[in-house]
Amino acid sequence: MNADSHTSQPVPLRLFAYGPLAGTITVPGDKSISHRSLMFGALAVGETIIDGLLEGEDVLATAAALRACGADITRTATGRWHVHGVGVGGLLQPRTALDMGNSGTSTRLLMGLFATHPITVTLTGDASLSRRPMARVTEPLTQMGATFTTAPGGCLPLTMVGAALPLPIRYVLPVASAQVKSAVLLAGLNTPGRTTVVEKIATRDHSERMLAGFGAQLHIEDTPAGREITITGEAELRPQQLTVPGDPSSAAFPLVAALIVPGSSVTVTNVGINPTRDGLLRVLAMMGADITQTNIRSVGGETVADVTINAGVLTGIEVPPDVAPSMIDEFPILFVAAAFAHGRTTLRGLEELRVKESDRLATMAAGLIACGARVTELPDGLIIDGSGGEPLAGGATVAAKLDHRIAMSFAILGLNCRDAVTVDDARPIATSFPDFLPLMAKLGASKGQ
C-alpha cells in the first residue's frame, strides 16, 4: 500500500471472503493522538519519546511540517519516535511551503500552532484537501490576530501571518468540531492571558487530556452555555514518554467486516475506547451487535480495551444525532453495517460529513445504491433499508473520491456481495491505515485482481 500510494495511476482494489473471518490483530496507532503527540512534543523543552505512532501519510505530513519549523524529529529502527522540542513560541519560519497532503487534521491544528507565532507560513494540499473549507478555523484565529490569504472559497493553498501580539478570546464553537476547538487551544498556548473555547456538544477530548499531561494549565467546566475549556497562555510544556493506543477509527473496519461475514469472530487489541470516540461501538450495540470488551486499562491517560465482535444480523434503528461527534469518522462503515441490517436505519444530523475528505453522504449513498442497497439520501443524513443479512448484489466499481475511509468501507462491503465490488482507487488508504490489507489478509480476506 505504501508503494501504491505514490503511483500516479489509480490502484483498484477488490476484497473477497471465501469463509468466516477470524483472528486477533492490532491496528495502527490512533491518528488524532499521533498528530497531537508530535505537535505537543515539538512545543515542549526537552525530549518526548513516542511509541506506537501511526506512520501513515497524514501523520508523516505533520512530522515534516514541524521539522521544517525547527523541531528535531527522528525515528529509530524499532519504530520509536524522538521529538526534541523548541518550546512554546519557539517555532521558526519554514523556508518553503508546507505540503499537508490529504490531512485536514494536520492543516487545521498546525494553523492553530502557527497563528500565535510571528512567522509566515504557506500551506498546500492535494486535490481533495484543497476543496475542504478552512474558514471555520481562520475565523477564530483572525480574532486572535493572525491574518490569512486563501484560495477562493477559503480553501488551500493558504498563506498565514502569525500574530506578533496575539489576543486571548472566548470562542463559542458554531459547529461541533474537535479540530476547531484544538486549533484555538493550541493558539492559546502562546497567547498572554486566558483563551476559552465553549462547545455545546462535547467532541473528542484528546487535546485537553494531552495538554494537561504535558503540563499546560487547563480549566474545564460544564456550564449552561456548554462545556468551557480555558487554557492559560505562555505555557511551558514538559516532555513526555507516550504510548499511542490503537485507532478506533481504523479498528472499525475489521470489526464491521466480522459483523457482516457469516460465522466470523475478530478481536482487535489495544483499541482506544475514550468515551468521546466510542460512538460506533455504542450504536452497533444498540443495533444488537455481539461485542465484548476485555482487558480494559489506561495507557497514557487514555482508556483502551481488547474488542471482540462476532458475526450477526443487526436491527435497524434511528441513530441518535447526539452520538455524531463521538463517531464522525466511522459513519461510512456504519452505513455499510446498516445495509445488511434487518429493517430501516435512519441517520440524521450529519451535515459535517459533506465537508470531509469527500461529501461522504453523497459518495456513500451513490456507491451503496450501485451495489444494490436501498438508500435514501437526506440533506443531513441517510435512510438505509437493510438486506436482513443477505448478501448485496455488488458488481459495481465505486468511486472513493480520494477518501481513505470511503475506499476501506466499500472494500469491506464487498466481502458480503454476490459479485465483486471494485474500489476505483485504494491509494488514499495509506494516509491513515497503511497496514489495512495485510491485517485483513491475516483475518482471511483475500485481495482480488
**Distance between CA atoms of residues 311 and 443, nearest Å:** 13
Is 132 annotated to bind a ligand? Reply is yes
**Distance between CA atoms of residues 54 and 60, nearest Å:** 9
Burial of 298: CB neighbours in 10 Å, binned 0-12, 13-18, 19+: exposed
Is 360 annotated to bind a ligand? Reply is yes
DSSP state of 46: S
**Distance between CA atoms of residues 153 and 25, nearest Å:** 42
Is 177 annotated to bind a ligand? Reply is yes
Is 405 annotated to bind a ligand? Reply is yes
426, amino acid identity: A
Which residues are known to be catalytic? 329
CA-derived radius of gyration, the chain: 21
CA quadruple 394, 395, 401, 407: dihedral positive or negative? positive
The answer to whether residues 183 and 123 touch, using CB atoms and an 8 Å cutoff, is no
The answer to whether residues 287 and 315 touch, using CB atoms and an 8 Å cutoff, is yes
Take residue 348 and report the three cell numbers written for it.
440524521
Is 442 annotated to bind a ligand? Reply is no
**Distance between CA atoms of residues 231 and 169, nearest Å:** 11
Angle at 403 between CA 78 and CA 434, to 5 degrees: 15
**Given the C-alpha cell 480553501, which residue does it identify?**
155
**Distance between CA atoms of residues 64 and 312, nearest Å:** 43
- Residues composing the chain: 449
Is 356 annotated to bind a ligand? Reply is yes
Binding-site residues for phosphoenolpyruvate, please? 31, 104, 132, 179, 360, 405
Binding-site residues, please? 31-32, 36, 104, 132, 177, 179, 329, 356, 360, 405
Binding-site residues for 3-phosphoshikimate, please? 31-32, 36, 177, 179, 329, 356
